[in-house]
Every structure is written in C-alpha cells, then in structure tokens.
A and B are shown apart, each in its own frame.
Chain A
Amino acid sequence: MKPIFNRGPTLESRLLIVVVLSLGLLISDGLYGVFKPVRSLLITIVSPVQYIASLPAVMLDASSDRIISQEQLIAENDKLVQQLVALQADNQRYQSLLAENEQLRKLLGAPLQNDLPKTVAELMAVDNNPYSLQVLINQGSLNGVFNAQPVIDDQGVVGQIVDVAQTTARVLLVSDLSHAIPVRILRNNLRLIANGSGELNLLNIKHVSHSADIAEGDILVTSGLGNVFPEGYPVAVVSQIKRDEGRPFALVKAIPLARLDRLRYLLLLGKEEIPLTPLIPTESAINTGELYE
C-alpha cells in the first residue's frame, strides 16, 4: 500500500545527513587519502561490474579471432618473422654491447644494472572519467602487482600502478594531470621533469630555463631518479618549444611515445621484493666496498 504521509525523517534532514556524509568522504579521501588502504577491497567488491562490462569486448575479440582468414594469418606471420629477424640481428649487437657496458661499468666502479622481471598484462577497460586518465588491467595483487609499479608498452613508458585489487589494477597514465615523471634528454643528459597535461597525448615539461640546450625532436628517457621508474626507458619526444622571454621559463611540450590511445598489451616492470637499484650508490655500499668487486 502506498503511504499517504511520508514516514521516517523528512526530506531535508535526509539531505543533510547524506550531504554531510559525502563532504566527509570528500575531505577525508580527496584531500587526505584516508581510504587509500581499503581502496583495493572496495574495487574487488565492485569488480563483477567491470567484468560484465568488459564481456562484449572480450566476445567480440573472440569471434573476430575465429573468423580471421588464412591469408591474413599468413601475411601477419610473414610480417612477424621479418620483425623477428630484424630484432634478432639487433639483439646480437645488444649482447656484445651489454657485455662491453658491464666491463666499462666495472672499470668505473659504477653499480651494475640487473635485468628487471616483467609481467605481461592486458587492457581491460579505459575509464569513462574525463578528469583523470586511468586504465584498468587484468593483473592484480594475486599476480604480484604492487603499488607504484612502472608500466610500459612496446614503445615507451605508459604510467604507474595506483590501485591494486585482487585480480585487477588501475594504471595512472603519464599524461594525467596529477602525474609527473623524472626524465633526461637522451642527447645530452639534461635532467627535467615531465608533467601530465590532462590531455591524452601531451606532456608539459616544466621549469626549463631559456638557455637550456633542448630542441624539438629530442627524446626524453626516464632518468631513474625518484626510484619509481627504472632508468633508460623512452618516455616522450619534444614537440614544441616556446622561448618567450616575458616568462620565467620556456614553454616546452612533448608527445608521449607510448601509444596511450591504443593500448592493448602492457608490461609491468619489477617485483616488489627486488627494489629498483638506486642510480647513486648508497654510502654504506661504498664503505663496505661491495660495488667494487
């Protein structure tokens, strides 16, 4: 039966309760990140919705895999074989260069760089959120994904992990407004910081002095400072430089090398037990002489 008179608290008092609750959540989570530790639990609870939402894409992929023609497969196979031969030729040189580099580093007494373990992940969803650029991947804490783990694709750095659930994780892209990554110019080792712009294919390089040696087309690679991203992975290419003397710094823009708008397979670098080696040897390591073996 439909009640004639409303029971319970009035509309205004209910509004007051939920608005106070929302504001409390906003301030505690948005400004102080109180709910960061339970985020993974919350995401795990709502992950059924994500799985159902990704079903159509998965089924579409599966059916398109089935009806692919033989000619297409042969053509693709040819292309892959050619790529493989080219990469193997490069790899031969890489091996000898690696050995040479290790010898030189030993001579200099610089720490050796060891190979990082890699995990392959597949893209599950791109967020429908114009305010933050994040994607969801199909690997979670059960697969050893951890917070702040660096993520790359076959072209360059994609971003880092921000929320880990049991079977999914959220990647913050390098071009998100709240993201910054320490980089250096490949050509002359000038250290810079690349900030996200909020636009998918644009990074802003801040605090570049007018006299800095930087040119359009320069490739920016990770500098390894900050100990989140390992050193030497390509990030972006400088696309635009405006040296307006009226401003304190030059206006520099860069385009990320990773194809952020068509991500499919991603690589997660590192393991939680093996911290990324700091670029600068620690004092204790120098004192004990373990770097000079």
Chain B
Amino acid sequence: MNKRYVIYFSIFIALVLEVLPMPLNVVMYRPDWLLLVLVYWNVALPQRVNLGLAFTCGIILDILLGNSLGVSSLALVVVIYVSSLHYQRLRNYSIWQQMGVLALLTALFNLVIFWLQHWLTNVYFQFNYFWPIVTTVFLWPWLFWLLRKIRRQMELK
C-alpha cells in the first residue's frame, strides 16, 4: 500500500509542468496539467484521491502562480466533486465520450477561475483565457494511456 508515492510524484510533475517557463506566444495554450492528473486519479482510485487532496493541490498551485489563496483550490474542488459523483460512469465511457466530459470539466474549471478573478480584480473577458480547454482535452487520451499503464504496472489499488 506504500505505492501511493506514485500518485504524489505524478502530481508533483504536474505542478512543475504548470510553472515550466515557456515562450510567450505559446504560454496561453498551456494545458491544465494538475486538473488532468487529479481527474485521472480520482476516476481510477476515488478512495485515494478526493476533495481533500484536490484542495491542498489547489492551494499549492495558487502559491506557485501568485494568485490569492483559494482561487484554484475552489475551482479544482468543484471539478473533482463532479468527477467523483460520476466516476463509475466515466470509467465505462469510450475515449471520445471521456474527452467530451473533460471539455466540460475544464471549461467549468476555467470559468470558475475567471469568475473569481473578475470578482477580486475586475479582469475583463478575453478569449485567450479559454485556450487551455482545447489543449487539455486533446492531451487527455495520451495522459490517460500513460497513467493507466503506470497504475497497472505498479498495481495501485
């Protein structure tokens, strides 16, 4: 049961990818790595990765990005709540259906963040804020495949 470090390690990698320096013209397409990894583990092992962990990861992401505390954590918690309501359904979906659900979840995530930022600092609506939805959805099949392989190899339960 001590293989749980694999989950934490993958979350750590996701956090690194969230702050990895990128050229300015591609930085707005950066996918929501943390959301992808958390949703995968939540669907695969809902008793291991749940709202508490999502909240903690959200706080760390807020500190890393210089947001006011609670912005990403609230958005992540909402998304993980929805996915843990439907994890059994999500497991049985085909990859295309999963991508559709992921699109909705990522859109929800980005919208919650936008609303909170609008409330806190009066940012204006820009379509650039929502590019991550597209990239995140197209990344899901590859990440799903990779993480499932890791999970099966390590026999994580």
- A interface residues with partner B (beta carbon < 8 Å): 2-3, 6, 11, 14-15, 18-19, 21-26, 29-31, 35, 39, 42-43, 45-46, 49-50, 52-54, 56-57, 124-132, 134, 162-163, 170, 177-178, 198, 200, 261
Contacts and interface: CB of A to CB of B under 8 A. Distances in A.
A186 to B, nearest CB: 29
Given A43-B63, A132-B66, A19 B77 contact: yes
Interface in B48-97: 50-52, 54-55, 58-60, 63-71, 73-74, 77-78, 81, 84-85
A49 B70 contact: no
Give the contact-size bracket for chain B.
Answer: 35 or more
B27 interface: yes
Interface of B: 12, 15-22, 24, 27-28, 30, 47, 50-52, 54-55, 58-60, 63-71, 73-74, 77-78, 81, 84-85, 113, 116-117, 120-124, 126, 128-129, 157
B123 A26 contact: no
A2 B24 CA distance: 46
A170 B66 contact: yes
Contacts of B74: 19, 22-23, 26
A54 B123 contact: no
B19 A15 contact: no
A145 to B, nearest CB: 16
A26 B24 contact: no
A57 B63 CA distance: 22
B78 to A, nearest CB: 8
Nearest to B13: A52
25 contacts: A2-B47, A14-B51, A18-B52, A19-B77, A22-B73, A23-B70, A24-B70, A26-B69, A26-B71, A26-B116, A49-B16, A53-B21, A56-B20, A125-B19, A126-B24, A127-B65, A128-B19, A128-B27, A131-B67, A131-B113, A131-B117, A132-B66, A177-B123, A198-B123, A198-B124
